[in-house]
Homo-oligomer: A and B are copies of this chain.
Amino acid sequence: MKDMLGRGEVIPADEALDRIFSNLSQKLPSEKRLKIVESLGRILFRDVLSPEDLPDFARSTVDGFAVSASDTFGATEGIPAYLNVKYEIFMGEEPDFELRKGEVARIATGGMLPKGSDAVIMLEYAQQVDEEMIEVVRPVAPGENVIQAGEDVKKGESVLNKGHALRPQDIGVLAGLGITDVWVYEKIKISIISTGDEIVPPDKPVRRGQVRDINSYNLAGLISNAGAIPLLKGIFHDEYSIVRNIVEKSLRDSGIILISGGSSVGKRDVTAQVINDLGRPGVLFHGVSLKPGKPLIGGIVNNIPIFGLPGHPAAVTVCFNVFIMPVIRTLSGLSKNRFEQDQRIIRARIAKNISSSPGREEHIGVYLEKRDGEIWAVPLLGKSGLMTTLIKADGMAVIPLRKLGVETGEIVEVRLF
């Protein structure tokens, strides 16, 4: 089915994404061994199994006195227990003594419990009678204020799973287990091909009628932030043989190919033809019910997703977030369960009425303001095509497919930049 401009059917964004995923057989990148200090944000290629118990001895979680809990049973304000401070436990040392009935050992947070003890009395609840004696007015339970050996992580247990992107605390835990190297997926490489006879690189002079290449640089940043490697292939004339040639070459070194500027209905549009001619299944959709971003082309050649992006920078950003980001994540090996939290979506009240056509998902640049403790999203309205709108925005408010618009004060989801 073609629309009035011969662009083929326009389909909802989720359906378009489904077409990509259902035609893609997931082939993940190869693996690479990295030092943990270089692994921040990288995605685990294997489950990490703990080589040992953590902790590997019973530790105190407080500053206080190691004790056999039974020595405190029945202690009250009226009938305190009096205990002998016989020993001190030094940090990093294994106690070389055993507590006997009525004896306690001074211990700091993280200290190792001595034999004969099974709990720790918090400093706050022990009254020092003299150098050698404390008074305790309430009992401790066995195991109280103690982490048992293996209680945090057991030897052989999977601590972090394949597909997890490493955060600071994850790297801390790896260090804690004595793991200094991890296997991660290689980053995927994404070609950026800029097309259009009017486009010149930023370091070259422009003639009137020409514009500099904005989209390649916007895309390179979006790709880096998504954990992939941008390959800036350059600017190419909008001619079939030229575009075909660079796309064909890029199929050899890229996990995804992005063609910027060739998806409008201008006379020289060749992106769709190139995608269809280079292999199966070729173009999967041409046109989505998304604003901005409607002219998006999506296809697959040799199991490599290829997108033809609209020329408008705001449309590039929206198409990237809605389509290309989930594809990057999946192809990078990221496990699905962290997707949603990683998208930086917050809820805010919209500060103006916005009308929207039904059957079209609309993304509107907004800046955020705090009013009476609530977050408001103020729409940046202006002609489409203005770059400064994207610069002033903190994110994009989303008006879903089935809504006719939103009214002032209504809650919207905002995808933060």
Contact = CB atoms under 8 A, between A and B. Distances in A.
B110 A383 contact: no
Interface stretch (A56-64, A133-141, A243-251, A281-289): A56-64
A416 interface: yes
Interface stretch (A11-19, A72-80, A164-172, A355-363): A164-172
A4 interface: yes
Interface stretch (A263-271, A272-280, A328-336): A263-271
A36 B212 CA distance: 14
A174 B213 CA distance: 10
Contact of A110 (B55, B88, B198): B198
Interface in A4-33: 4-5
A176 B92 contact: no
Contacts of A417: 167-169
A346 B206 CA distance: 44
A402 to B, nearest CB: 14
Interface string A84-102: 0000101111110000000
Nearest to A143: B383
Contact of A206 (B178, B216, B345, B387): B178
A311 to B, nearest CB: 6
B386 A151 contact: yes
Contacts of A93: 197-198, 209
A261 to B, nearest CB: 9
A408 interface: no
Given A224-B40, A391-B159, A63 B385 contact: no
Interface size class of A (residues with CB under 8 A): 35 or more
A170 B317 CA distance: 12
B391 A173 contact: yes
A198 B59 CA distance: 12
- The residue among A110, A170, A346, A386 with the most chain B CB atoms within 10 A of its own CB is A110
Given A91-B196, A179-B202, A215 B387 contact: no
Contact of A394 (B63, B196, B317, B341): B341
Interface in A191-249: 196-200, 202-203, 206-222, 224-225, 232, 238
A385 B173 CA distance: 12
Top 4 closest A-B pairs, CB basis?
A168-B221, A92-B198, A172-B218, A108-B266
